[in-house]
Structure 1
Amino acid sequence: MRRKMSSKEILKIDGSFGEGGGSILRICAGYSVLFNQPINIYNIRANRSTPGLRLQHLLGLKTLADLTNGKLSKCDVGTEEITFIPGKEIPKQNIDINIRTAASVGLLLQPLQIACLGYNKPKEIEILLKGGGTIGKWAPDLNYLENVTYNLFKSAGFRIELDIQKYGFYPKGGASTICRMYPQNKKLKPLNLTKLGNVSFVTGKIVCTKNLSNARVCERIKNSAEAKIKQELNLKANINYEYVDSLSTGVGVSLWAKSGTGAIISSGTVLGEKGTPSEKVGQEAAENIITYIKNDIPVSKYLSDQLIPLLGYINEPSKLKVLEVTSHAKTNLELIGRFTSREYEIKAHRNYSIIHFK
């Protein structure tokens, strides 16, 4: 079954509003397909030092158009205005994406996963990504997505699986990843994450390139993080690590812990930088997750940004308890209001806030 190109009036969105970054583009593109709403985005990343589309945004838009047989206006790296008209009902089952840089694989997948929320066919969509970065700055790494974000998506009824065949780091990228999305046949379920509850165990994944193995970088990060967690929380931690082949040297850490309430709290992605001792990297990752656990926060600031587009689509009440409402989260909430009549409120308390989708 196919649907005609949308005859709705084009929704115009100023890409410089709110946090003014690439997330506006990613969410609007995904929501455009999800709600069959044509969009025109102008002033794309106008407040950034390099305005306009970056390669990961361009690839995301072109892939979305290809996946759904939509129409995308002519654009390239640096383009500051695009028009996108979503296309047919049933997306392709297989898509190949070639990424020439270290562009984030996780961010490239975001508009695709949002778009696929509204489909119930095909049973599986397989996306083969050649190149790009699996771990990098200002982006969720793939181990974090697989073990935190996508686990909570699964709780809501939407399953996404990742197969990391090769890791990629800045500046050369060179990753190889297979992403499988499974459109759901059942109604998506709301998430109510307002209590962290009991946490008894912390785990995670440290990934370093093999040229750092003689310096025992993974082991030093692991020992530092586990010692800090034991000292501050008196909790057992068992953090996995792996030395990998990659075109560029890199270090990435993500810690997470499941609680008795179904929450999954995380450190987010922490990168090792040249000149930063491994022990400090481990301590930083540990301190991030310790802060959330000590304050009974079930949703990290990074996770709230990723859950908001999902919960904005699910037409039942959901609640998220967060330590802070980030500028990304506020922008994402405002964007939902442009595509839907969904009501939400933010209740600020002394040490936390509640984001409530009504």
Structure 2
Amino acid sequence: MRELLTIDGSQGEGGGQILRTTLALSLVTGHPFRIDGIRAGRSKPGLLRQHLTAVHAAAQVSGATVSGGDLGSGTLTFHPGPVRGGDLSMAIGTAGSATLVLQAILPALLLAPEASRVVLEGGTHNPYAPPFDFLDRTLLPVIRRMGGNVTARLERHGFYPAGGGRFTVDIEPVSRFEPLALLVRGPVQVSAQALVSGVPEGVSKRELKVVNEQLGVPWEALESIVVRTSPGPGNALLIAIASEELTEIVTGFGEKQVGAAVVASRACKEAQAYIASNVPVGVHLADQLLVPMVLAGGGTFRTLAPSAHTMTNAAVLKQFADVDVRFVNESDGTCTVTVDTARASGVNRTAS
């Protein structure tokens, strides 16, 4: 019987990332846990639908025993069983982020004994989470470089607040991950897409004009896309910054009573900061690299000043694995993050 770990859900940034990381590590290591103070740092604490969907997904892939998993609950106890692959379908029922739900189960399914196909429905382009494009073009290519065989395809956009998006992820099992170093970026090529659904196309064109003017991106690298399959209206500006190492996606989301030029200028400012830093790993990717690197037995990357999400993830990791996560801050505002595990096999799970 493995030790029941007690996790403080109010630590660090005090949001849903603690729950998702805890679920992912519980599935991989087989450690049961109790988490208290779920999302205590948020204006509406406790489990929302997208967090509850992540719990249900994690329980479904492992046959877990769960108590306290109710809407609005601030406490959850989770005892995982052996992880199995196969077909999995989960619908959030709101515009809650489906990409964040995937975070909770992807590491374990990559280590499962059989292949998986995961169908997720909910928000795919949500201002409070990485969009599907980040998953498909930024995170999954890095996972594949570490040895994971995983692909995703978007079938229907789901903008906030209507949601209703849908994507499918195919996952092949891998015996182990390989460590990865992302330290040097090099030259970049910048392009952008502006998506509109139920919104005049003039909005996307005004956003792209700002990208052209502020980032100097040529018009042939800019694309306006009218989305006709989304259940609700929405707008997203996706700035892709491609280098030899990876493609970083910076996103701006349209808001009511906020002009297209303002939305685009905010995204351009974030893109400019990333480009000027000369680091390969952006702030949002840094959040999501720690767990795969622990599975690989180590890794290192250069990024901007780490977010509260990243620092909180590191603290949670240390409760599940014998791991050292070091942050070395440089005088230019960048940071080198190194993940070291005491065991060469990381926390790859061999038995429940």
Q: What is the TM-score when the length of structure 1 is the normalising length? A: 0.89
1:37-56 → structure 2 map (5 Å cutoff): 37-56=31-50
Q: Do 2:85 and 2:109's aligned partners in 1 also have CA atoms closer than 8 Å?
A: no
Unaligned runs of 5+ in 1: 1-6
Aligned counterparts of 1:272 and 1:229: Cα–Cα separation in 2: 19
Aligned counterparts of 1:77 and 1:194: Cα–Cα separation in 2: 42
Q: Do 2:110 and 2:171's aligned partners in 1 also have CA atoms closer than 8 Å?
A: no
Which of 15, 21, 26 matches 1:27? 21
More moved, 52-61 vs 269-278? 269-278
Q: Do 1:45 and 1:53's aligned partners in 2 also have CA atoms closer than 8 Å?
A: yes
User: What SS does structure 2 have at the residue aligned with 1:101?
Assistant: coil
Could you tell me how far 1:285 is from its partner in structure 2? 2.0
Aligned counterparts of 1:50 and 1:310: Cα–Cα separation in 2: 30
Which of 160, 163, 167 matches 2:157? 167
Could you tell me how far 1:47 is from its partner in structure 2? 2.4
Q: Do 1:229 and 1:237's aligned partners in 2 also have CA atoms closer than 8 Å?
A: no
Could you tell me how far 1:182 is from its partner in structure 2? 2.2
Structure 2 residue aligned with 1:177: 167
Q: Deviations over 1:280-315 (max 9, x none)?
A: 322322222222112212111111001111112211
Q: What is the aligned length? A: 338
Aligned counterparts of 2:199 and 2:326: Cα–Cα separation in 1: 49
Structure 1 residue aligned with 2:246: 263
Structure 1 residue aligned with 2:196: 208
* 1:13 matches 2:7: yes
* 1:125 matches 2:113: no
User: What SS does structure 1 have at the residue aligned with 2:13?
Assistant: coil
User: What SS does structure 1 have at the residue aligned with 2:194?
Assistant: strand
Aligned counterparts of 1:47 and 1:294: Cα–Cα separation in 2: 32
Please, what is the CA RMSD of the aligned residues? 1.8
Q: Do 1:229 and 1:236's aligned partners in 2 also have CA atoms closer than 8 Å?
A: no
Percent sequence identity over aligned pairs: 27
Which of 216, 220, 223 matches 2:206? 220
CA change 1:204–1:147 in 2 (3 A) is farther
Aligned counterparts of 1:237 and 1:139: Cα–Cα separation in 2: 28
Structure 2 residue aligned with 1:278: 260
Aligned counterparts of 1:160 and 1:354: Cα–Cα separation in 2: 27
Aligned counterparts of 1:79 and 1:97: Cα–Cα separation in 2: 20
Could you tell me how far 1:85 is from its partner in structure 2? 1.0
Q: Do 1:164 and 1:176's aligned partners in 2 also have CA atoms closer than 8 Å?
A: yes
Aligned counterparts of 2:182 and 2:120: Cα–Cα separation in 1: 32
Structure 2 residue aligned with 1:4: none
| Structure 1 stretches of 4+ moved >3 Å | 234-237
1:1-358 → structure 2 map (5 Å cutoff): 7-89=1-83, 91-119=84-112, 121-122=113-114, 124-130=115-121, 132-185=122-175, 187-199=176-188, 201-213=189-201, 216-230=202-216, 238-245=221-228, 246-260=230-244, 262-267=245-250, 269-316=251-298, 318-351=299-332, 352-358=334-340
